[in-house]
């Protein structure tokens, strides 16, 4: 077996993040859930956030089942008051925030001529402004404690575009510029900002989009353009995040890290 997908436990074994506090948005399912689990398994205290309280509590249950620590807090990343409340609560409870994962995001798909202006604004609000608000409110608390790490969940569509998702690619391209500028600004404040670019990754959101079974999504025929021969799983996205969140990666910032089984090497 050549290439293989990671599990959240394996991702969590890459670094010791004990003593660190992490906030993950969109932690209620998919990639966000996998990242929240892996960070917790690496020893970080995880504030798992999202709009769906029931699914958020399920993420926390899995964290605790794996001997990790964390809690759920309700957060819609497009609502500024939510950010104020959640970050103030973190300040009160822990006095620190070491890792922010701006993960919440979604794509509007369809031919360009069918996408209404609302579709464009939806992507801008969710993908760009969500990350902007997250950094705006996390920055002071990170800066005060000597630094931190921000991960902005992008996509290979943010680097190369993607057919059938013009607004998604556009918003992710904007998000990449936002991330690079934040990384430059973070230099003097000790805050590292990193862009994460998953390619085809299995998640409930992806399943709803592609409308195929898990077996079909992982089939050899469907993944011939991926050198690794298979799509990613949520835990594969967590692998670089766990390492890059650790102090051992203190000189790594402003980069684009692809989770695409070697696809972008072409």
Partner 1 sequence: MVDLTRRSALGYTSLALSVCGGASAVLAATNVKVLAGKSVLILAPDESFTRDVASALTTHGANVTVVSPAELTDDAWGAALLTGARKPGKSDVVVNLCMPRGGGAVGEIGLAEFRRVLEASYGRAFLGVKYGIMYLRAHGGGSLVNVTSADGLQGNPKAAAASAASSGMIIMTKSAALECAAAGDNIRANGLFVGDVVRGKPKQGQVTVEDVAAAIAFLSADAASYFTGVVLPVENGGMPL
Selection from 1, 11, 4, 57 nearest residue 31 by Cα: 11
Using DSSP, state whether 150 is helix, strand or coil: strand
Binding mask 212-251 for partner 1 (x = CB under 8 A): ---------------xxxx-x---x--xx--x--xxxxxx
For the CA atoms of the chain, what is the radius of gyration? 17
Stretch that binds partner 1, among 104-112, 122-130, 153-161, 183-191 (CB under 8 A): 183-191
x-or-dash string of contact with partner 1, 23-62, rule CB under 8 A: ----------------------------------------
Rounded to the nearest 10 degrees, the angle between the axes of helix 234-245 and helix 30-41 is 40
Size, binding site for partner 1 by CB under 8 A: 43
Question: Toward partner 1, which CB reaches closer, 49 or 253?
Answer: 253
> Exposure of 91 by Cβ count < 10 A (0-12 exposed, 13-18 middle, 19+ buried)?
middle
CB atoms within 10 A of CB 185: 13
Active centre residues (catalytic): 168
* Cβ neighbours, 10 Å, residue 208: 9
Nearer to partner 1, 168 or 202 (CB): 202
Among 79, 108, 124, 252, binds partner 1 (CB under 8 A): 252
Residues that bind partner 1 (CB under 8 A): 1-6, 10-11, 13-16, 183-184, 187, 192, 227-230, 232, 236, 239-240, 243, 246-255, 257-259, 261-262, 264-266
């Amino acid at each position: 077996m050549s290439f293989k997908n990671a599990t959240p436990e394996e991702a969590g074994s890459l670094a010791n993040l004990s003593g660190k506090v992490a906030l993950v948005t969109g932690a209620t399912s998919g990639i966000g859930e996998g990242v929240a689990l892996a960070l917790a398994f690496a020893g970080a205290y995880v504030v798992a956030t999202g709009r769906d309280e029931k699914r958020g509590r399920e993420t926390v249950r899995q964290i605790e089942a794996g001997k990790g620590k964390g809690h759920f807090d309700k957060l819609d990343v497009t609502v500024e008051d939510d950010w104020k409340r959640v970050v103030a609560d973190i300040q009160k409870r822990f006095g620190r925030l070491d890792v922010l994962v701006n993960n919440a995001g979604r794509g509007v798909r369809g031919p360009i001529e069918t996408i209404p202006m609302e579709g464009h604004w939806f992507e801008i609000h969710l993908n760009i402004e969500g990350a902007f608000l997250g950094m705006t409110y996390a920055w002071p608390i990170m800066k005060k404690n000597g630094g931190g790490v921000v991960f902005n969940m992008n996509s290979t569509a943010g680097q190369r575009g993607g057919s059938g998702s013009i607004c998604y690619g556009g918003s992710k391209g904007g998000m990449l510029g936002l991330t690079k500028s934040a990384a430059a600004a973070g230099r003097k404040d000790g805050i590292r900002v990193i862009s994460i670019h998953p390619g085809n990754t299995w998640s409930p959101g992806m399943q709803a989009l592609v409308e195929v079974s898990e077996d079909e999504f992982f089939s050899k025929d469907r993944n011939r353009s991926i050198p690794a021969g298979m799509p990613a799983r949520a835990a594969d996205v967590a692998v670089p995040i766990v390492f890059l969140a650790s102090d051992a990666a203190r000189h790594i910032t402003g980069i684009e890290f692809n989770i695409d089984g070697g696809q972008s090497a072409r």
